A and B are shown apart, each in its own frame.
Chain A
Amino acid sequence: MKRIYLDHAATTSVDPVVVEAMLNHFTKKFGNASSIHQFGQEAKVALENSREIIAKKINADSKEIVFTSGGTESNNLALKGVAFANRNKGKHIITSRIEHECILNSCKWLEKQGFEVTRLPVDQYGFVRLEDLEKAIRKDTILVSVIHANNEVGTIEPIEKIGKICKEHDVHFHTDACQSFTKVPLDVKKRNLDLVTINSHKIYGPMGVGALYIKEGVKIETWQHGGGHEKDIRSGTENVPGIVGFAKAVEIAKEHDIQRMAKLRDVLIKGVLEEIPNTKLNGHPTMRLCNNANFSFKYIEGESLVLRLDARGIACSTGSACSSHTLGPSHVLLSIGLTPEDAHSSLRITVGKGNTEEEMEYTINTLREEIKNLRKISPFGD
C-alpha cells in the first residue's frame, strides 16, 4: 500500500541534502566546538557558519542566535528567562489562548512563581485582536508572547502590528515561529521582535535542534547552568551535526516549495469542502500557513477518522479529544468558538514539499469514503 504523509506540522522527514551535510560532522569533523584542537575548531567553524545562515534568514545578527534543543526549550527559555531577568520592572505577561502547550504551561508555572498572566482571546479565525492587546498592557507588563502561525488551524497572526504596539509601550515581544519559520517571511527588525523561537524538524532538518533569537540588549536569565556555552545563556555541548543540518535546511528552503504546498493545500480544501457534506474549514480561509488545512466533519470523531485513514495509508492528525494524552477537545478549536462536538470531529492535514496532486485526490476520495463509513456507525450521521 502506498503511504502518504500529511502530518508535516508534527515533523518533516530530513531532506537527503541535509543528511549529506550532517554526515561529515558525525564521523570526520566530530569535535567538540569548545575544544581548542583542530577537531574542535572545525566544529566551531561549522557552528558559527550555521549561526550566520540562520541569523541571516530572519535579518538578525549571528550573535543574537542561541542554539537550543528545540522549540519547547526555546519557548521555555524566552518566557522564564525574560520574566525573571525583568522582575524589577514588572510581573505581568501577556499571551494568547491559542499558544502551544509549552507556552501555556510555562505561563502556568510562572504564575506559581508570582507572575501574572493575561491570556488574550482570539476571534473566530484565530486572530488576536489588537484592541484587546492594547487594553491588556499595563505599566508592569514585561513581555508579550504571541504565536506567529498557529500549529493547529494555521492562522497567521498580525505580528507586525503586535510588534508595533509592544514597541510603543516598551514591552518585550516574543513569537513562537516554529510552524511559520521559512514559510512566512520573518524580518525581526521590521516586525519589532525581541525574541523568536524557531526549530529544525518542521523544515526538513533533524529533530532535537532549535534556536532562540534574542535581540541584543534584551535581558534574559539563564535556565541551564553549566560550562557557559552559547554565551552562558544555554550551557551544554552544542549539537553540531544537528545545527549544521538545521542551517542546511534553512538554506534549501525555497519560495517555489511554499507555492507548491499552497497549491496542494488549496486543491485539498476545495475538494474536501465540495465533496464531503457537513464539513467546515477551521481557521482563516486565506491568512493561513501554506501547508495547513483543518476541517471539522460533523457526526464523527477525529481519532476514529485518523486511524481509518492510517489503515489506508494516509497519516494526518486530530486536535480531538480522544487522541492519546488528554480527552478534552483542543484548546485552540474551542478558543476560535467551535462547539466541543465540532472540535472533537476535527482533522488536521499538513502537506509537505514532497506531496503530489495525485495524493491530494486520493486523500479526498479516501476521506469521503471513510467519513461515510463512520457516519453510518454514528447515531447522528446517516
Chain B
Amino acid sequence: MYTEEVMKQFMHPKNMGEIKNADGIGKAGNFICGDIMWIFIKVEKNKKEEVILKDIKFKTLGCAAAIATSSMITELAKGETLEGALKITKQDVANALGGLPPIKIHCSVLAADALSEAVYDYLSKNDLPISRELVKTHERIGKELETTEKKA
C-alpha cells in the first residue's frame, strides 16, 4: 500500500525531534484521524540577507504516511527561504514520496500545514509582515487543531 520511499522515511525518519529555543513552532492536526504534527524551525540570514530555514525538526503522532510526510517535508524545506518553504505543497511532498494512497493524501496536508504554521509563528513573533493568504491558512489550521485536540 505504501511506496518504498514512504516506508524508508517512516522507518528511518530524518530530522526527528525538537529544537530548543526554536524561532517558530507550527502545530497541525487532522480531526478525522486524530493525528497531530509539530514542526520546529530555526532561521538565519544567508549572504543575500534572505531569511532561510537553517534547521527544521518534527514530532508526529500519526500513521506511517504522517510520519513519512513529516520527515520528507523537513528534507524539502531545509535551507529554503521562508517564501520557498511556504511554496512547498502537499503535492510536492506526495510526489517526493513517490505517491500516497488516496485515503492518505490528507496526511501530506498536515505536513504542509504544520510548516506554514511554523513560519507564521516566526513572522508573528518578530512582528514581520504576514501575507493575507498565510493568515487565512493559519485561521483554518487553528480551527482544525482545536477540533482534533478536543476529540483526542
Could you tell me which A residues sit within 8 Å of B by CB distance?
299-301, 303-304, 307-308, 311, 321-322, 324-325, 327-329, 339-341, 344, 376-381
Q: A327-B103, A341-B152, A379-B38 are in contact. Are A301 and B61 (CB under 8 A)?
A: yes
Q: A377-B59, A378-B60 are in contact. Are A324 and B13 (CB under 8 A)?
A: no
Q: A304-B10, A327-B33, A344-B34 are in contact. Are A379 and B59 (CB under 8 A)?
A: yes
12 A-B interface contacts by CB (under 8 A): A301-B35, A304-B62, A304-B63, A322-B63, A322-B64, A327-B33, A328-B32, A340-B152, A377-B59, A378-B61, A379-B38, A381-B61
Which residues from B are CB-within-8-Å of A329? 34
B125 within 8 A of A: no
Query: Number of B interface residues, CB 8 Å?
Result: 30
Interface residues of B in 24-51 (CB under 8 A from A): 32-38
B67 within 8 A of A: yes
Q: A307-B10, A378-B61 are in contact. Are A322 and B16 (CB under 8 A)?
A: no
Are B34 and A379 touching (Cβ within 8 A)? Answer: no
CB-based nearest A residue for B148: A340
Other contacts beyond A311-B11, A321-B32: 16, CB < 8 A: A299-B61, A301-B35, A301-B63, A303-B64, A304-B67, A307-B64, A308-B11, A322-B33, A324-B103, A327-B32, A327-B103, A327-B106, A328-B32, A340-B34, A340-B151, A344-B35
Encode contact with A along B61-99: 1 for CB under 8 Å, 0 otherwise.
111111100000000000000000000000000000000
Which residues from B are CB-within-8-Å of A300? 61
Which residues from A are CB-within-8-Å of B37? 379
Which residues from B are CB-within-8-Å of A341? 34, 151-152
B128 within 8 A of A: no
Are B10 and A301 touching (Cβ within 8 A)? Answer: no
How distant is B104 from chain A, measured CB to nearest CB, in Å? 8
Which residues from B are CB-within-8-Å of A379? 36-38, 59-61
Are A377 and B33 touching (Cβ within 8 A)? Answer: no
Which residues from A are CB-within-8-Å of B152? 339-341
Are A324 and B61 touching (Cβ within 8 A)? Answer: no
CB-based nearest A residue for B58: A377
CA distance A335 to B131 in the complex (A): 45
How distant is B140 from chain A, measured CB to nearest CB, in Å? 19
CA distance A233 to B67 in the complex (A): 50
Which residues from B are CB-within-8-Å of A344? 33-35
Which residues from A are CB-within-8-Å of B59? 377-379
Which residues from B are CB-within-8-Å of A321? 32-35, 63
How distant is A380 from chain B, measured CB to nearest CB, in Å? 6
Are A324 and B1 touching (Cβ within 8 A)? Answer: yes
Contacting residue for B16 out of A307, A340, A376, CB 8 A: A376
How distant is B65 from chain A, measured CB to nearest CB, in Å? 8
Are B67 and A377 touching (Cβ within 8 A)? Answer: yes
Are B61 and A380 touching (Cβ within 8 A)? Answer: yes
How distant is B118 from chain A, measured CB to nearest CB, in Å? 13
Which residues from A are CB-within-8-Å of B60? 377-379
Which residues from B are CB-within-8-Å of A340? 34, 151-152
Are A322 and B35 touching (Cβ within 8 A)? Answer: yes
CB-based nearest A residue for B149: A341
CA distance A161 to B67 in the complex (A): 47
CA distance A50 to B11 in the complex (A): 48
How distant is A1 from chain B, measured CB to nearest CB, in Å? 14
Which residues from A are CB-within-8-Å of B67? 304, 377
How distant is A311 from chain B, measured CB to nearest CB, in Å? 6
Which residues from B are CB-within-8-Å of A325? 103
Which residues from A are CB-within-8-Å of B1? 324
Which residues from A are CB-within-8-Å of B7? 307, 311
CB-based nearest B residue for A299: B61
CA distance A341 to B149 in the complex (A): 9
How distant is B139 from chain A, measured CB to nearest CB, in Å? 22
CA distance A280 to B64 in the complex (A): 22
Which residues from B are CB-within-8-Å of A308? 11
CB-based nearest B residue for A303: B63
How distant is B111 from chain A, measured CB to nearest CB, in Å? 14
CA distance A340 to B36 in the complex (A): 13
